[in-house]
Amino acid sequence: MRTLPFTLKLPFGDRPLEWDNYIVRTLSSMQGQYFDQAAYSSLLAADDQLLYEVYEILVPKVEGELLHGVSIVHPGKVGNEYFMTKGHFHDVLETGEVYYCMRGTGMMVMETPEGDSQVLGMSAGEVLYVPPRWAHRSVNTNATEDLVMFFIYPGNAGHNYGTIEQKGFRKLVVEQDGQPTIIDNPRWQNAS
Ligand code: F6R
Ligand code: ZN
């Protein structure tokens, strides 16, 4: 079936007025992802709080179509590590993705299967390009504001979460001396 042209209302700096699919991710969906496991367990015991939301505009998940929507990562930390998305490779590895930061400040943690690694800052008004082969995770480094981003990627990309769930990313973004700081993930090497 062919998609007909359509428009999407994005009130500046916030979620779309209409969407097809709404995803919420709470602390319990991030088992094993945060470095400070003790901090994770005690936060989770207190409250399975909301980490991020995704509003998707669905088009057919086939080559040529472009999936898009808005993600909102809320402010907060687990221990010293900021709230973040699960992160993923695309099933079709040779797939790029564009993010437009509408509100807030954060970092995109990225890496390739070959071991390249990059963490880029993002702030409102900036476009960030994730090239083919790069896994990506959004991190909200702002203490009080949401990180709101519009994203767009090929319809046939699919998502591979398993690799990141097992290995994590090579880099972590943590708060040190009150500043967002990129460090090596000490647990990455232990992964299979
Ligand atoms: C889609 C994409 C974003 C993320 C969203 C949530 O390919 O990269 O829309 O899906 O930021 O992150 P994940 O999917 O890693 O939970
Ligand atoms: Zn993606």
In a domain, 1, yes or no: no
Residue to mutate, 26, 71, 133, ligand 1, most ligand atoms under 8 Å from C-beta = 71
Whole-number Å distance between alpha carbons of 184 and 191: 14
Which residue's C-alpha comes closest to atom 11 of ligand 1? 71
User: Which residues form the domain of 122?
Assistant: 21-189
In a domain, 8, yes or no: no
In a domain, 139, yes or no: yes
In a domain, 13, yes or no: no
In a domain, 158, yes or no: yes
* CATH number, domain containing residue 162: 2.60.120.10
The pLDDT value given to residue 12: 80
The pLDDT value given to residue 117: 97
C-alpha closest to that of 183 among 167, 172, 175, 170: 172
The pLDDT value given to residue 9: 92
54 lines ligand 1 (CB under 6 A): yes
Residue to mutate, 20, 21, 30, 54, ligand 1, most ligand atoms under 8 Å from C-beta = 54
Residue to mutate, 110, 159, 165, ligand 1, most ligand atoms under 8 Å from C-beta = 159
The pTM (predicted TM-score) of the whole model is 0.96
Q: From first to last of the 192 residues of the chain, give the pLDDT tens digit.
A: 679 999 999 988 789 999 999 999 999 999 999 999 999 999 999 999 999 999 999 999 999 999 999 999 999 999 999 999 999 999 999 999 999 999 999 999 999 999 999 999 999 999 999 999 999 999 999 999 999 999 999 999 999 999 999 999 999 999 999 999 999 999 997 655
Whole-number Å distance between alpha carbons of 139 and 102: 14
Torsion angle defined by CA atoms of residues 15, 18, 20 and 26, in that order, rounded to the nearest 10 degrees: 30
Report which ligand 1 atom has the smallest distance to the Cα of 71: 11
The pLDDT value given to residue 14: 86
The pLDDT value given to residue 95: 98
85 lines ligand 1 (CB under 6 A): yes
In a domain, 12, yes or no: no
Q: Output the CA 76–ligand 1 centroid distance in Å.
A: 18
Structural domains in the chain (count): 1
In a domain, 57, yes or no: yes
- Strands in 179-184's sheet, in edge-to-edge order, are 77-78, 81-82, 171-176, 179-184
Ligand index nearest the alpha carbon of residue 61: 1
